[in-house]
Amino acid sequence: MVIILKPRASEQEREHIIKVIKDAGLSPHVLLGEERTVIAVIGDERALQKQPLSALPGVEKAIPILSPYKLVSRDFKKENTVIDVRGIKIGGERIVVIAGPCSVETNHLLSSIAAEIKKGGASILRGGAFKPRSSPYSFQGLGEEGLEYLSEARRLTGLPIITEILDPRDLPMMAKHADILQIGARNMQNFRLLAEVGAQDKPVMLKRGLSATIKEFLLSAEYIMAAGNANVILCERGIRTFETATRNTLDLSAIPVLRKRTHLPIIIDPSHAVGQTDLVPPMAKAAIAAGADGLMIEVHSNPEEAFCDGEQAMLPKDFNQLMDELRKIAAAVGRTL
């Protein structure tokens, strides 16, 4: 940690800061500049995490040097984490495509979509049984019934299933059905939920919050890993900016940034990011070109009657055509799909 003192910090304030650093078991090095005094702190600065130095009188700014996360970081684990879900490897050389409707609606519809995306080459089925909706008057999902339809679709197609968990109290019910638990963007900092999914052993896909920095995103993943679950998948799904031409702004540069900082697999959800069907294919291709380990794409056989987000769902036939195009991009970056 580097501590920059205020221009007119007193000697007494300086001595007090030095004492606090020493009391934490760290070594302060004082550098008297012409205009400012800087104190460099040698040692594991995480010792200072509980009582931040920035509140000490005379301190202008305390700049941490080490990253605040540990288990998720590439310093901690050099090789990429590969997560095995019923034989599907997430984070390996092969790019994984998760597809399916926004919400589970009927048993028949879900199974037929599942069969179609499987034909197209998707390897995991998505579908929401519990839906977080901005309005209390929007469709909130079928609940447990939806989970049963997902299980049924898996039985018929063999595709593992991913579905969103909203509440720690749903965990036992979820555990009976889901292969991967999804934490949605709105719950990225629902720390209790993170701790709970961290304390069970199903893989967890964590979506980046709408206004979460990459540092905060990784700290939320750290919550899950710190609770004992090493199978965390990261998913970028668009951030909130001033631009309204797209629902959100897909931050593809998060891919190489995350790749440098963490060993965890990186999935991109272009459907939620752009919010319009015809913008999904170019962004899906771009995600793979930028190095994503997988994609999550909304597919619905009758988008206009979808209970949610119909305007961003692809038709199965368009999805299948996209898959063909994605295979070419995957090959161009030395991967398969």
- Annotate each residue in 70-89 with x if it binds its own copies (CB under 8 A) or - if it does not, as one string: -----x--------------
Given 171, 200, 329, 335, the residue binding its own copies (CB under 8 A): 329
170 Cβ contact partners less than 8 Å away, ≥ 6 residues apart? 130
| Span 180-239, contacts to its own copies by CB under 8 A | 186-187, 189-192, 195, 209-211, 213-216, 219-220, 222-223, 226-227, 239
Count residues contacting its own copies (CB under 8 A)?
109
Other beta carbons within 10 Å of 176? 10
To its own copies, the closest distance from the beta carbon of 263 in angstroms equals: 15
The verdict on 104 binding its own copies (CB under 8 A) reads no
- CA–CA distance, 209 with 214 (Å, rounded to integer): 10
**C-beta of 85 vs 283, nearer to its own copies:** 283
The backbone region for 183, taken as left when phi is positive above 0, alpha when psi lies in -120 to 50, beta otherwise, is beta
- CA–CA distance, 175 with 202 (Å, rounded to integer): 8
Given 11, 78, 87, 136, the residue binding its own copies (CB under 8 A): 136
Given 84, 158, 282, 336, the residue binding its own copies (CB under 8 A): 282
Beta strands in 128-231 (DSSP E): 161-164, 180-183, 204-207
CA 135 to chain centre: 24
To its own copies, the closest distance from the beta carbon of 40 in angstroms equals: 5
Backbone phi, psi, residue 64, to 5°: -70, 145
Strand-pairing partners, residue 175, are none
The verdict on 335 binding its own copies (CB under 8 A) reads no
**C-beta of 87 vs 244, nearer to its own copies:** 244
In 3-state terms, what secondary structure has residue 332? helix
CA gyration radius for the chain?
23
| Span 17-56, contacts to its own copies by CB under 8 A | 20, 29, 31-36, 38, 40, 42-44, 46, 49-52, 54-56
- CA–CA distance, 118 with 268 (Å, rounded to integer): 19
To its own copies, the closest distance from the beta carbon of 172 in angstroms equals: 13
Other beta carbons within 10 Å of 272? 23
In 3D space, the residue among 337, 312, 300, 317 whose CA is nearest the CA of residue 122 turns out to be 337
The verdict on 319 binding its own copies (CB under 8 A) reads no
The verdict on 92 binding its own copies (CB under 8 A) reads no
Given 82, 121, 139, 144, the residue binding its own copies (CB under 8 A): 139
To its own copies, the closest distance from the beta carbon of 236 in angstroms equals: 11
The verdict on 68 binding its own copies (CB under 8 A) reads yes
**C-beta of 121 vs 132, nearer to its own copies:** 132
Given 96, 174, 288, 296, the residue binding its own copies (CB under 8 A): 288
- CA–CA distance, 221 with 225 (Å, rounded to integer): 6
